[in-house]
Amino acid sequence: MKDVLSNANFPQDAQGRTYHVATKAGQVANRIITVGDQVRAHRIAKAFDGGKPLFEFNSQRNFLTLTGTFKGVPISIVAIGMGFSVVDFFVRECRAVVEGEMIIVRLGSCGSLQPEYGIGTVVVPKASFGISRNYDYFHHDTTADERRSGALEPYLITKPLDADQEVHDALLAALEADKPKNSAELFGGEEVKAAGDTVNASADSFYGSQGRIDPAFVDANANLIDVIRERRPGVATLEMETFLLNHLAAAANDAIDLAQKNGEQPVHKGKIRTGAVQMMCVPNSPASNTRADTDRSLARNSFANRNTSAFISPEQCETLEHWAGKSVLTALANIQIPNERLHPSGVWN
């Protein structure tokens, strides 16, 4: 039988397990890698000391937590699925069960918005901004004038939020130090490469808000990629979680600063530091095209070809995942967290 939950404001069971991720204190480490899919989580966990996690739990809501040690340092890998809302569940519920400082690194796939970053490139963003569908733009009460005048735009583009500089640098250094050898054969003649200091965009959909054209829906996104590039020059990657991770870390850190300013005890003493590693899996996705490219592509009827042929192959994906996964573990293990800022429990059960 399941434990009874209490506290409608932040539901937890009698042992402190949270509602959706369903872990309790002692099961999640201060250093976390978060990934989208469970297969990736299990693959990375093979690099834990002893080749496997010490703690493993898949919640009814499909949040998978694997906690183990890497070179003796406790690290959790949490697979959360896709999109902004799961990041919210994950960050808040893990924060609730971990005392002290947290370092959270998102490791995921992405689409490329820069021709020089093709399949085989792994990037470490220095900042991320959000792109969300503006629902009111699409509401039937919205007038054509409101749409034409720009009073309402179909997509909301946020200001960028920075990753933690030390985390960024540690991730890039670990990737550079452990590059796979002789990768050119598998990657069309070019060796894999790591690139730092890039800018990421996280969208609230894989489709409309990433500029993918879908005639089955009104998305008003034909020029979205042009608009994004104009407003955020240099944007390199598109995925769906990193911005929210940076945003929630900032919100948690602001809560600590605010409590201290007011002379109160913060709920959590340690701050949250974030970083991301993104593996290019769609080098010339429809989303990376300008409107003119999309029109040309549709005219040539090559849209479907691009969707099928431009994706990363399973072998390429596994190579990048192995490299990136090991590098994130190494970077997390290398970043020092003083003992007094670590979760008191060393027992992962």
Give the binding site for ligand R1P (CB under 6 A). Answer: 35-37, 82, 108-109, 206, 239-241
Residue 93 as a binder of ligand URA (CB under 6 A): the answer is: no
101, 164, 204, 239: which one binds ligand URA (CB under 6 A):
239
Distances (CA, A) of 126 to 162, 339, 340: 6, 27, 28
| Residues 178 to 207 in contact with ligand URA, rule: CB under 6 A | 206
Residue 109 as a binder of ligand URA (CB under 6 A): the answer is: yes
Residue 211 as a binder of ligand URA (CB under 6 A): the answer is: no
237 membership: H or E segment, kind and range: strand 235-239
80, 91, 110, 333: which one binds ligand URA (CB under 6 A):
110
Strands 161-162 and 64-70: unpaired
Q: Single out the segment in contact with ligand URA by CB under 6 A; choices: 89-97, 138-146, 280-288, 333-341.
A: 280-288
Tokens matching residue 80? 């959360």
Closer by beta carbon to ligand R1P, 93 or else 239? 239
Collapsing DSSP to helix, strand or coil, 168 comes out as helix
Q: How far is the CB of 284 from ligand URA (least distance, A)?
A: 10
Residue 285 as a binder of ligand URA (CB under 6 A): the answer is: yes
Q: How far apart are CA 260 and CA 262, in angstroms?
A: 5
At CA 309, angle to CA 184 and CA 312, rounded to 5?
A: 45
Q: How far apart are CA 158 and CA 244, in angstroms?
A: 11
Residue 210, binding choice from ligand R1P, ligand URA, none, Cβ under 5 to 8 Å by partner class: ligand URA
Closer by beta carbon to ligand URA, 219 or else 239? 239
Q: How far apart are CA 349 and CA 344, in angstroms?
A: 14
First to last CA, the chain: 19
Are the C-beta atoms of 272 and 155 separated by less than 8 Å? Answer: no
Tokens matching residue 31? 């250093």
H and E: helices and strands count for the chain = 10, 13
Q: Which residues pair with 131 in a beta bridge?
A: 157, 203
Residue 36, binding choice from ligand URA, ligand R1P, none, Cβ under 5 to 8 Å by partner class: ligand R1P
Q: How far is the CB of 203 from ligand URA (least distance, A)?
A: 7
Q: How far is the CB of 14 from ligand R1P (least distance, A)?
A: 33
Residue 164, binding choice from ligand URA, ligand R1P, none, Cβ under 5 to 8 Å by partner class: none
Q: How far is the CB of 279 from ligand URA (least distance, A)?
A: 9
Residues found near ligand URA in the complex (CB under 6 A): 109-111, 206, 210, 238-240, 281-282, 285, 287
